[in-house]
Structure 1
Amino acid sequence: MKFFRSGPLLTVAVVVVVIARGHGVGGLVGALGGLLLELASFQVGTLLGVLLWRLRVRYVIFGVGRELRAWSTPRLRIALCALPVVIRVGARSVRSPVRLRLWLTGLTSALVAVGVVVGAWLVGPFGVAVGATACLAHELWPRRSAATTSPGWYVFSLPRVSGREAAEMEATPLVSAVVDAVHVGDLAAADTALAVVVAAHPDLVMTTGAQAAVHTAAGRYVEALQVLGAVVGRDDLADRDRALLMASMAGATASAAEVGLMPASVGVPAAARAVDVAIGFGLPRYRLLGTLAQLALLRGDAAEAVRMGRDSADGSGDALGRADALATVARGLMAGGDNAAARAVLAEASELAAWLPRVAGTAARLDVS
């Protein structure tokens, strides 16, 4: 079922059903409203499950597009965007048993969504009920890729997970200690926590990801590439694993070229190839905009770097990711001669993570310009 795409089929089905029942344009508008309502119900259900089953909320983002207002701590980011039509909730399990907590959270999300559909059929317009039902069917279809993991995967597929994939999940609490230390800029604590992870789970892909994250946060881009390169050729990796590893390799390669650890003539094409491979394994292009913005800047296209950097920052649910993207925007503005705008952008990046190597490096360049 790898190539099955339920979304387009359900969209066609909704249009056919609504028109066949004689509800016309009004029915289609209602179906769109039902779709958005149901998507929101899944996210609200996820948030409820996170609170009930003691996971940790990473971000709550209201809307899409340009960020209007945000509230950030090292562990949580809440943002309001220009088009408040959807809500996104991100969470991770920091307590054992990890899989049970994830399953219960997925089940809670699904039950809330089912309740909304039942309510739509009982009291809502026909179009709303049809749209919500189609969305429910789509989201409960179990699928997991580099792009997304559906609520249905957590409910129906997670209980059958075993082997390395199960071990990866159960290692999350240890890895979370590394992530927490990185997010507050305590790299010494991150190295200490990482040593515990490596000792306990030396062969997990999650361990490699944690190693690469710590090296990257410390500006040790060559070391990050070494640990990533050591596992990317393993034959037990799923496409999702390969996509995420190649995305990390692309980012580390671009950063290494940016600071002169490798020639740009070598690093830029290598990073671009890694981006293409990550996309080929299913990672959406928008998830790679931060790296693509860096590459545009290295190629001398400052305007494109600023545009993609802003898009990357607005799409990030992570304070460090947003800070890194804003550093690229500031560098692009500097390259275009607008140091005043660069300082304004860098001020936000510094508020989020002044210690981050690319943020600190950009600030140093602005200070001498």
Structure 2
Amino acid sequence: MATTLKPPKRLVMHRWHWRGKNLRGEMVSGELIAGDIGEVRQELARQKIIVKRISRKSGLFGLGRIRSRDVTLFARQLATMIRAGVPLLQGCKVVGETLKNPAMRNLVETLANDISAGASFSEALAKHPTRFDRMFVNMVAAGEQSGALDKMLERVASYREKVETLKGRVKKALYYPAAVILVGLGVTALLLVKVVPQFESLFAGFGAELPAFTRFTIHLSELTQAYWWQAILAVALLVFGMRQAAARSPGFAYRLHQLMLKLPVLGNIVDKGSIARFSRTLATTFNAGIPLVEALETAAGATGNRVHQRAIAAVREDVDSGQQLNFAMRRTKVFPLMAVQMVSIGEESGELDVMLDKVAEFYEEEVDNQVDALTSLLEPFIIVVLGVMVGGLVASMYLPIFQMGSAI
């Protein structure tokens, strides 16, 4: 009778908090990441710690969450291990032990269990699509087939680092103005709620008609005090409603992204950042030996913009029907002429991935320069706006006092 081998039980890691005494009799404490309490006791015994108490941390702040840089670090460390001649399974276990993030360590332990059960590395990665995207899995599969897994992992890590750096620059361009506006509104609201009422009680004893500017400020203060929480709730509901509508309605999300591309300065940064991510992703996947049609599908998801995703979907259909990539890109009227021309040169010379990398580098540098320019331009503008908002409120409150002084 044939027996079937059961796959090893999945190892779930936990964060453990311990207290005890060292060899000098001093009370010490700390945290360890392990699968069960027995592993914690063994490790503490090796460190000559007399255990007093061990408790498992759970709930919202238990294992934590996996960030993109954790996956990038895992890819780079595993590439180093494989290049040094360490077998894949052993490399996963060694890298897992060095990771500080318990959630990522738990994921790596799961990958190791799947590999030891007979799955290939790419098959193990494919079971976690939220952590390892399609490009990651495809490049690992190509590396396994060609015997160059370390090079593919190194290429994935470099790609992810460049994309994350670009995303950070674009987010800075978007978040910086929003943060400044919120600070300005917060300071103005604080003045309207806390400072203006003090002056209002002072003006009540003047017995004279207040200037129109002052009356407007006092009326605005009364509205703010009466409806501040309704205003905050309305803004929160508006933001939540737009996010839900964008998630549920592809048409609304497309129009929202289309509007974002038309914003002054910011739209240009978002557009060039999206083109750079598309070029970088397509170059990386195509260079890994993945067919162009499949590489285009992967690159579409990397843009982060629905307008470009729809355009790339049209390009993919045209390429699948036999058209050249540069001709298909030109037809969409979405891609810049320089990018189309570079792609055309790459197709003619047989170095499409090299030219796409150059396109990505060019637009990444453009994004960097425009973000720096935007920051420099915004600083004096911010000073003027905050000065007008705060200075206007202060001036409106002191205007009756100045008029009294001139009348005396």
Normalised TM-score (structure 1): 0.22
The structure where helix makes up a greater share of residues is 2
Normalised TM-score (structure 2): 0.21
